[in-house]
């Protein structure tokens, strides 16, 4: 299909949408046009209104005003069921799969016909198997959805959408938890969908991914569209400028002086999942940890934080044996973790953001009431710095966008004055400007003498902040790279035992 014909028909239209929550204008006249058979990127800072737009399109919420078009249908609101029947499917970051069911059962879920009998059910099973195959999974595998990797779960969600004959698939931050191998795989499937005439709306804070996969990109700011551009004619710098209204300079944040040894691990292991982990972390340094999903990075973090046990080796904190039996014990010893799954970091959604931020410190220091007031002011300053929207300690996380909740969760631990701070994917889900601020705070904490372990699969992030990087593979530290050795090639080789070219070829084969 030629470009021109593809664009003459719109698969999805949003015109002049307005949505307010009290005094907040989540959408302030937002527009979007998605052509049939196009991959359309949607970007914007945290709180720009992306998810609100998606929720309106999918029927989850009703706009105050504005018009929608899905295929030939036009109106101001479609119910979720109607939107689905019109061919719209939405894939959120939190999978809607049932972990204990198999692949085919998940695809068929909610669609099984109680009537219709044996033949019909068999046809349904066959068509389910067909879409599962189409996204590159094996329908005959005797696995349940819960055992799939995050990437495979997303592929299964796509299969589900295909089985419902979706003509437009919206993905709200689909690659947040995916490594490079998985991202390549997901992109291959998305391209296949586009070639079959399906439209994909792709929302992500990873601008290089958005540029790579999209035909066109719409940039939102403050509830409105700033511009829609051809991906070919755009680049990261111009997207950032449209998103935040200014250019962003990336600062070199390395070069610190290393202090005394703080945390030491000697041959630490957990079954076969973590093996033989030995290293020493010094005050004032930022050590990066990377590796594929499942290589043991997050598990190592949870062991350090007392959230999981270890059964081999020893740990020492300032020379004293360290064997935390719970996160509370770890916090009491000055060890903190910003978990990857920040939804489970249990923000008190109905308590002010400021209170959430001072909470961790209260646990470790038992603050008096007088100090609490000052702490609250500091929390407010940190919120302004990370550009939390709105930047008020009284604001409830429940009414914040996903990325802004993440910032509050990160601020909580940045504020906790830990001696050892472990951050699991601190850049995930937050916009590029906030990420820069988070990295600056990480750097300042190191300068003040904190020892930091930063887990990230973004090589650029590690290049920016880490003094050295551990690359994990199958539960072990497979390589330690000095700052100037951290290149995409070195990291990928150590993480997979193969070159990027081989990996990409393997995925495509
Ligand atoms: N239920 C709600 N109550 C009050 N305000 C809300 C609610 N949902 C969203 N908002 C506000 O609407 C604005 C847009 O939020 P939205 O979730 O659409 O942003 P987003 O672009 O998806 O951000 P992110 O990149 O962080 O996911 C934010 O300022 C948010 O605080
Ligand atoms: Mg969102």
Region 470-497 average pLDDT: 91
* Fold adopted by 250-334+418-509: Rossmann fold (3.40.50)
- Pocket of ligand 1 contains residue 399 by CB under 6 Å: yes
CA-closest residue to ligand 1 atom 25: 46
pTM for this model (two decimals): 0.86
Which pLDDT score, from 0 to 100, does residue 7 have? 45
Region 448-473 average pLDDT: 93
> Mutate which of 14, 22, 26 to test ligand 1's pocket (most atoms within 8 Å of Cβ)?
26
Which pLDDT score, from 0 to 100, does residue 4 have? 44
- Pocket of ligand 1 contains residue 406 by CB under 6 Å: no
Which atom of ligand 1 approaches the CA of 173 most closely?
27
How far apart, in whole angstroms, are the C-alpha atoms of residue 325 and residue 308?
8
Region 73-94 average pLDDT: 90
Closest ligand to 45 CA? 1
CA-closest residue to ligand 1 atom 18: 49
What Cα–Cα distance (Å) separates residue 98 from each residue in 58, 88, 172, 471, 479?
21, 21, 19, 33, 37
- Pocket of ligand 1 contains residue 389 by CB under 6 Å: yes
Lowest mean pLDDT among 103-112, 272-281, 399-408: 103-112
Element (H, E) at 508: helix 500-508
Q: Of how many residues is the chain composed?
A: 509
How far apart, in whole angstroms, are the C-alpha atoms of residue 382 and residue 369?
20
Most confident of 9-13, 31-35, 170-174, 290-294: 31-35
- The answer on pLDDT for 500 being more than 60 is no
| Cα 509 to middle of ligand 2, angstroms | 34
- Pocket of ligand 1 contains residue 282 by CB under 6 Å: no
| Cα 429 to middle of ligand 2, angstroms | 8
- The answer on pLDDT for 112 being more than 70 is no
> Mutate which of 19, 23, 24 to test ligand 1's pocket (most atoms within 8 Å of Cβ)?
24
- Pocket of ligand 1 contains residue 56 by CB under 6 Å: no
Whether 3-244 and 250-334+418-509 share one fold: the answer is: yes
What is the chain's mean pLDDT, rounded? 87
Which pLDDT score, from 0 to 100, does residue 1 have? 40
Region 137-165 average pLDDT: 87
Strand pairing category for 468-473 and 476-482: antiparallel
Which pLDDT score, from 0 to 100, does residue 3 have? 44
What's the pLDDT tens digit per position in 255-310? 678 899 999 999 999 999 999 999 999 999 999 999 887 789 989 999 999 999 99
Which atom of ligand 1 approaches the CA of 55 most closely?
18
Helix (H, G, I), strand (E, B) or coil at 304: helix
Closest ligand to 43 CA? 1
Q: Which CATH superfamily is domain 3-244 in?
A: P-loop containing nucleotide triphosphate hydrolases (3.40.50.300)
CA-closest residue to ligand 1 atom 7: 399
- The answer on pLDDT for 434 being more than 70 is yes
Nearest C-alpha neighbor of 66 from the set 111, 112, 26, 34: 26
DSSP assignments along 26-59, one per residue: EEEEEEEEEETT-EEEEEESTTSSHHHHHHHHTT
Region 373-382 average pLDDT: 83
- Pocket of ligand 1 contains residue 218 by CB under 6 Å: no
Nearest C-alpha neighbor of 467 from the set 480, 478, 448, 449: 480
- Pocket of ligand 1 contains residue 21 by CB under 6 Å: yes
- Pocket of ligand 1 contains residue 199 by CB under 6 Å: no
Which pLDDT score, from 0 to 100, does residue 151 have? 75
CA-closest residue to ligand 1 atom 12: 26
- Pocket of ligand 1 contains residue 382 by CB under 6 Å: no
| Cα 424 to middle of ligand 1, angstroms | 24
Confidence of residue 5 (pLDDT cuts 50, 70, 90): very low
Which atom of ligand 1 approaches the CA of 404 most closely?
26
Confidence of residue 497 (pLDDT cuts 50, 70, 90): confident
| Cα 53 to middle of ligand 2, angstroms | 9
Which pLDDT score, from 0 to 100, does residue 116 have? 61
Nearest C-alpha neighbor of 421 from the set 293, 322, 286, 313: 286
How far apart, in whole angstroms, are the C-alpha atoms of residue 432 and residue 410?
15
Nearest C-alpha neighbor of 188 from the set 207, 212, 205: 212
Nearest C-alpha neighbor of 431 from the set 202, 172, 205, 93: 205
- The answer on pLDDT for 94 being more than 60 is yes
What's the pLDDT tens digit per position in 227-247? 999 999 999 999 999 999 888
CA-closest residue to ligand 1 atom 29: 47
Question: Where exactly are the structural domains of the chain?
Answer: 3-244, 250-334+418-509, 343-417
- The answer on pLDDT for 203 being more than 70 is yes
What Cα–Cα distance (Å) separates residue 481 from each residue in 455, 478, 488, 493, 494?
14, 10, 12, 12, 10
Which atom of ligand 1 approaches the CA of 49 most closely?
18
Confidence of residue 362 (pLDDT cuts 50, 70, 90): low
Which pLDDT score, from 0 to 100, does residue 176 have? 59
How far apart, in whole angstroms, are the C-alpha atoms of residue 41 and residue 29?
19
Most confident of 208-222, 337-351, 435-449: 208-222
């Amino acid at each position: 299909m030629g470009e021109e014909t593809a664009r003459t028909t719109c698969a999805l239209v949003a015109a002049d949408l307005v949505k307010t929550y009290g005094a907040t204008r989540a959408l302030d006249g937002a527009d979007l046009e998605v052509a049939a058979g196009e991959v359309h990127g949607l970007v914007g800072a945290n709180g720009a209104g992306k998810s609100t737009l998606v929720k309106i399109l999918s029927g989850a919420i009703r706009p105050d005003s504005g018009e929608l078009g899905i295929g030939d249908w036009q109106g101001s609101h479609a119910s979720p069921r109607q939107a689905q029947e019109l061919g719209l499917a939405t894939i959120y970051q939190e999978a809607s799969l049932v972990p204990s069911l198999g692949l085919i059962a998940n695809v068929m879920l909610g669609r099984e016909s109680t009537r219709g009998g044996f033949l019909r059910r068999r046809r349904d099973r066959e068509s389910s198997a067909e879409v599962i195959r189409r996204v590159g999974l094996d329908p005959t595998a005797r696995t349940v959805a819960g055992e799939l990797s995050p990437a495979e779960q997303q592929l299964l969600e796509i299969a589900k959408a295909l089985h419902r004959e979706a003509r437009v698939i919206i993905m709200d931050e689909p690659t947040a938890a995916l490594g490079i191998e998985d991202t390549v795989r997901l992109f291959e499937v998305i391209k296949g969908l586009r070639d079959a005439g399906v439209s994909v709306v792709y929302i992500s804070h990873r601008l290089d991914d958005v540029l790579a996969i999209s035909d066109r990109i719409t940039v939102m700011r403050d509830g409105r569209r700033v511009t829609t551009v051809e991906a070919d004619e755009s680049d990261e710098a111009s997207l950032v400028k449209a998103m935040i209204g200014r250019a962003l300079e990336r600062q070199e944040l390395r070069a610190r002086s290393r202090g005394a040894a703080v945390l030491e691990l000697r041959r630490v292991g957990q079954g076969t999942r973590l093996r033989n982990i030995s290293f020493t972390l010094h005050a004032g340094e930022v050590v990066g940890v990377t590796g594929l999903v499942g290589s043991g990075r997050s598990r190592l973090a949870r062991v350090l934080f007392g959230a999981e046990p270890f059964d081999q080796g020893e740990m020492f904190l300032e020379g004293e044996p360290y064997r935390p039996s719970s996160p509370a014990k770890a916090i009491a010893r000055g060890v903190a973790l910003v978990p990857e799954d920040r939804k489970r970091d249990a923000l008190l959604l109905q308590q002010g953001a400021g209170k959430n931020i001072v909470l961790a410190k209260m646990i470790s220091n038992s603050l008096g009431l007088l100090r609490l007031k000052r702490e609250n002011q500091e929390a407010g300053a940190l919120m302004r710095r990370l550009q939390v929207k709105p930047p008020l300690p009284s604001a409830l996380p429940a009414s914040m966008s996903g990325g802004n909740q993440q910032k509050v969760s990160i601020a909580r631990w940045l504020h906790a004055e830990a001696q050892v701070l472990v951050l699991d994917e601190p850049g995930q889900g937050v916009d590029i400007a906030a990420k820069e601020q988070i990295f600056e705070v990480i750097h300042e904490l190191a300068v003040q003498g904190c020892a930091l372990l930063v887990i990230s699969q973004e090589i650029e992030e590690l290049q920016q902040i880490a003094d050295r990087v551990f690359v994990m593979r199958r539960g072990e530290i497979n390589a330690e790279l000095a700052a100037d050795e951290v290149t995409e090639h070195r990291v990928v080789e150590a993480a997979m035992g193969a070159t990027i070219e081989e990996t990409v070829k393997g995925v495509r084969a």
